[in-house]
Chain A
Amino acid sequence: MAARAIWSGAVSFGLVTIPVKLYTATRAKDIRFHLLHAKDASRISQKRFCQAEEVEIPWNEVVKGYEVAPGEHVVLTDEDFESLPLPSLHTVAIEQFIEAGEIDPVYFETTYRLAPEARAEKSYALLYAALERRQLVAVARIALRKREQLCVVRAKDGVLLLETLYYQDEVDVAKEPATDRPVATKELELADTLIDLLRKPFDPTEHTDTYREALESLIEAKQAGVSVSGKGTAGVKKAPTVLDLTAKLRESVAAARGRSTRDGESRARSRAKPPRSTQTKTAARRRDRKAG
């Protein structure tokens, strides 16, 4: 989790104001690269270059321009931007309450965590409890990064989450249906059976980014000086690290705990045994061989 708040302000809900901080709750784990000069692997930099004067220019001579026609720009300065209305600059103003299912997932953009500021715990808890009790989410507006965004606030696992939404005109779902063909009942039944076979609860821990893992292995191998053939990373042996181990230990505990919880108790007894200690009456002999 990010340690630094990216925004601070207040959630306003009728007469109640709840001072909060906003933290990012999700983060894509992309592997970032630097661009280098192939010849000497030195860092390269981008420079602002004026196409008319053919010189490099400093940041303070840079303005934003909106292209209204090819080659024709309307220039906007900082003052122009500041004159725009951003009423909810430091508030999350709740406008309505709805059921979570009312919003199609296509509208969800980014998830943030809301944390109460000092002395705001009580009002924070009130909003949390109220949302949870009524099973509703709040629709609000927030100004983030100089842009007013629609968002929802919802209660999950003891935390108020804020999810920014795309505006309706930012979403481009099909304007006309991609299919309207009728299907045969028999085929539909077959599909039903297949679906039932693959039906199981969603467990995010089961899914990992295999491309990223392969890329990381490749980087580690190259760092370790292992020569890597150009064809994929199948041949790359990644030296496992203790960090890998601790992560895996956590996963294994979580999985074991999940199993125990589902069964109501320990499954120790139901486990199969290694073939060596086959269950026979010659128990003593078994012991002998066992601890060898």
Chain B
Amino acid sequence: MRLPSRFEQQDVLDQLADAADGDFLHVGRNNVRVTNLERVLWPAAKPRVTKRDLLAYLVRVAPAMLTQAAGRPAFVTRSPEGLSGDAFYQKVWEQPPSYVKQVEVWSTEHDRARPLILIDNLATLLWLAQQGVMEYHVWSARTSYDDDVRGVPTDYGESRAALSLSRLNYPDVLAVDLDAFDYSGREAPGAEPELHRRGFDRVRDIAFEVRKVADALSLAAFVKTSGRTGLHVFLPVKRHYAFDEVRAMAQTLANFLRQLRPDDVTVAWSVKERRGKVFVDANQNTRGKSLVLAYSPRRHPRATVSMPLSWEALATAYPTDFTVHTVPDILATHGDCWGGLVDAKGDLREVLALAG
């Protein structure tokens, strides 16, 4: 991973301000060609967001965003025509530029290894945006080395068995995905609940409950908005347990929350049964699944961002407070409250030993 310096960020921002279509941005030693800079990606946002705005946003949040993305296979949502055009989900790229790091990962679906990209530098982030990427999603396992994966193999592509033994089978966060299933009453039949105050209050309340439980287990808890209606609580953990095991623990945690707050929490798979409750989804802790990256913009009319928050800030926060327009200044003022996530990894082996 390479984080851009403040000087480098300002340099790219200056270039971007004057850039014309077809120009190259010089990002470190790499050149990223940009086109259609005035294309409106989020027409309904106030003010509307152009591709130039998106690129500037990415430059400004890059250090914080790359810190979270480094070493994680990334999937993206592309909408080259912006929010009003078609959108598709992309995992594999044909011959990306040399500065885009790739890793061969076995795909059970395709029965062979496929190259997945890692977002490890600013050039990659900008190149993806140039390709029409509006959302960035990443795995909860990473290829990066740390003490907790000493001796764990780094062969991800040889076979399914090899992948199961590798670093990418050992997540470094236990993700608690909280979704509000409070309906505002304005939704079309069968549609997802829309964002509204009462629903979000309930999600927030449950997020604090997750934090209490994490606290009692001596695990650190980090929260971010999903950028839509929900919240993601990440419990960073040392990579001692495989996806299957972490998912099982997440499910147990979800069931426990339901026991604690039976009137507010559901783990039901039937959408009908989730009505009026917060759905705690443990299934995000599955190998090959991705959750939206911290600081990633969302394909939401208001150009919202999946925003990491301090627990103090969460108390008064609302998802639409955090957009491509507002987040860079908030970040500059308050700092990256997820910066310490990697160093806060808890030891689940110790947590499990607690039980008598």
Interface residues of A (CB under 8 A from B): 239-240, 242-253, 255-257, 259-260, 264-269, 271, 273-276, 283-289, 291-292
Contacts and interface: CB of A to CB of B under 8 A. Distances in A.
Contact of A240 (B137, B256, B291, B298): B256
A264 B161 CA distance: 8
Contacts of B87: 284-285, 288
Given A239-B260, A266-B244, 13 more contacts: A246-B351, A246-B355, A247-B356, A256-B245, A267-B244, A268-B286, A268-B288, A269-B287, A274-B283, A276-B271, A291-B177, A291-B227, A292-B192
Interface string B143-176: 0000000000000000011001000010000000
Nearest to A259: B244
Contacts, number: 132
B77 interface: yes
Contacts of A252: 245, 248-249, 251-252
Interface residue range, chain B: 35 or more
Contacts of B287: 266, 268-269
Contacts of B249: 249, 252-253
A255 B249 CA distance: 10
A287 B137 contact: yes
A246 B352 CA distance: 6
A274 B281 contact: yes
A247 B89 CA distance: 40
A247 to B, nearest CB: 4
B230 A292 contact: yes
Contacts of A246: 217, 351-352, 354-355
Contact of A289 (B192, B241, B283, B286): B192
A103 to B, nearest CB: 33
Contact of A271 (B137, B286, B298): B286
B89 A286 contact: yes
Contact of B169 (A242, A266, A271): A266
A245 B89 contact: no
A251 B352 CA distance: 9
B88 A283 contact: yes
Contact of A266 (B164, B232, B355): B164
Nearest to B306: A291
Contacts of B291: 291
B135 A266 contact: no
Given A275-B271, A284-B77, A287-B135, A256 B247 contact: yes
Nearest to B193: A292
Contacts of A288: 77, 87, 228, 299
7 contacts: A245-B256, A246-B352, A252-B252, A256-B248, A271-B283, A284-B89, A292-B193
Interface in B99-121: 108-109
Nearest to A283: B89
Nearest to A256: B248
B313 interface: no
Sort A-B residue pairs by CB-CB distance and give the 10 closest, nearest first. A284-B87, A283-B89, A256-B248, A246-B355, A292-B228, A252-B248, A265-B164, A247-B355, A242-B216, A268-B287
A269 B283 contact: no
A260 B89 contact: no
B244 A245 contact: no
A162 to B, nearest CB: 25
Contact of A245 (B88, B169, B253): B253
